[in-house]
Structures are given as structure tokens and as C-alpha cells.
Structure 1
Amino acid sequence: MADVSHSRGDLGSHPHATGDLGSHPDVPEMQARYAQMLGGGRVMPVEAPVFLVGLYCAASPWILHFTGNQSALATHNLIMGIAIGLMALAITIAPGRMMGLGGAMSVIGVWMIIAPWIVGSNPDRGIIWNNAVIGGLTILLGLLCAGVGMRAGRRTK
């Protein structure tokens, strides 16, 4: 019976193996495909600010205490904050493929600015400013994500 176990724990005992995959002819192609699957390198760290804006948006009804008199707007901000946080998670997991979410994020930012008058009822200045700041930051981060995505797309072509 032949001894099929590797004595050194690598492929060095095999007659045709060198134990080093660096000389394999397919290594550059495998590295390029791996980099493409991961979406390339990160150009700008936008995930954390997007996540923080989403977290604040979701928590803002309780921070500013408008859950009682603006319950529909409080629910709205909670849902939109969760959506922004999920976008941040998607950008973190697959940055190269998800930078296209920048356009959607900018639309959410515009919606956050006008939502107090559409979803809420007679919002006060604090609620209006809160949603305007959240919306402005979301638009800014969305445009930043879109710009990074377009720049990364041009680099890969």
C-alpha cells in the first residue's frame, strides 16, 4: 500500500510539486478575479459616517422626544434610519458593487428633508432642523458614494 500522507504538511513531498503556489501560471488571474469579486480596494471610508447617520436617524425621535406628538414621523424616521444603516452594511460588505447605492441614498436624503411636512403634522422647528440635517448629510454621503463608485468604475475599465 502506498503512503499518501504528506510528511511535511505541504505538497513538497509530491514529485511534481514545489510547495510554492507563487510560480503557478494561474496565480495572477486568480488574484485579479479575487480582487474583482471583493470590489477592488476601498477608495474612501464612507461606511462609518453612513451608518452613524442611519443610527442617529433611527434614534432621533427618542433623542428629541417627538415620539408622542409625532408618532407617524417617529416611525418614519426609525424605518428610514434602518434603511440607511442597511445601505451602510451593503457598502461595507461589497464596496465596489454597492457604491451605486449613492443615488438611492441621495433620494432618501431629499425625502428626509421634506418628510416632516408630508408624514408629520405641524412639525416644530426642532423636528424640521433635525430632518434637514439628516437629509443633508445623507445627500452629501450619497453623492460621495456615487462619486467613488463612478471613479472606481472608470479605473476598472
Structure 2
Amino acid sequence: MTAPASRIEQHPDLVEMRDRYDRAAAAPSAQVLEGLTFLAGIYIAISPWVVGFNDVSTPLAVSNLVVGLAFAVLAFGLSSAYGRTHPLAWTAPLLGAWVIISQWVIAGAPTSTSVVLTNVIAGGVAALCGLAMMGLSVTGKSKGDGGGRGRAETQR
């Protein structure tokens, strides 16, 4: 009988899960997704200056700046250490949804067509990228894999 692992980092399931995350994050499609996610965050952050609602007193400009930078930092974290930051991936679609609805929730936000279109499109792209980032861990599994152990292993 072998002694149990003294550290959680050495647990076989955790090691397998991190390996799966690393394989998923190393795929070329995942790297494109990570770059697009990062760029979506940067665009959200600079959109007040691109579209022209960058007045310092505009709360929407401040919201876009903060949320865009947070989204870009999250995307950078997910791309550099996906196995360790994957539990935070659920926040990315929420940040994208906030960008979409913030223009109607924040008092005093400009509601011109360009502002609405920018926030809806950028927020939608961010939300979709966030959902795709959440799904990266699923792509690391093989199609016949029922969660890590095959049928032959569980019958032993």
C-alpha cells in the first residue's frame, strides 16, 4: 500500500487537469482566441477616445476604461497561465455583458448611435470571446473520454 500524496499539487487528477488545460491553451485556435480576447479588452478601454465620448466627466468613459483594462488583464492571465486562471474565466462573459448594458444603466451616459453600436458590438465580441475561453478546457478532452478515465481503467 502506498502512502497518500502529502501535497494537493501532486494529486493525479489535478496534474491531469493542468495537462489538459496546457494542451488546450497550446492549440493555434486557442492562441488566436486569446489574442482576440486581449484586443477586445484594449478596444473597450480606448473606445471612448475612438468614438468620441471621452469627456472625463462621462461615467461611461470611465466604465469602459476600467472594464476594458480588466478584460485585457484577464485575457493576458488566461493566455499566460490558463490552468491556474481558468476559475476566473466565468467573469469574462459578464464583463462583456456589462459593456453592452452599461450605456443604459449608467446615469448621464451619452446615447448616440455610435456609442450604442460601439458598446453593443464590442461587448458582444467580448462576451463571445469570454464564453469561448471558458470552453477551452473542454477542448482538451478526447471525444471518447468520459472525464479523465476510460472504461478499461475504471473496471480494474
Deviation at 1:69, TM superposition (A): 8.2
1:144 matches 2:144? no
Provide the TM-score with structure 2 as the length reference.
0.69
Residues 82-140 of structure 1: per-residue CA shift (max 9 Å, x gap): 10111111112212233343321111111111000112525111111111011100111
Q: What 5-or-longer segments of structure 2 have no aligned partner?
A: 1-14, 149-156
| Correspondences of 1:87-126 after superposition (within 5 Å) | 87-121=74-108, 122-126=110-114
Letter in 2 for 1:40: D
Identify the residue that residue 79 of structure 1 maps to in structure 2.
66
What is the alpha-carbon root mean square deviation over aligned residues? 2.6
Does the CA-based 8 Å contact 2:56-2:62 persist in structure 1?
no
RCO (CA 8 Å, sep 6+): is it higher in 1 or 2?
2
Q: What 5-or-longer segments of structure 1 have no aligned partner?
A: 1-32
Task: State the aligned residue count.
Answer: 125
Farther off after superposition, 41-50 or 57-66:
41-50
Does the CA-based 8 Å contact 1:102-1:144 persist in structure 2?
no
Letter in 1 for 2:125: L
Provide the TM-score with structure 1 as the length reference.
0.68
Structure with higher Rg: it is 1
Higher helix content, 1 or 2: 2
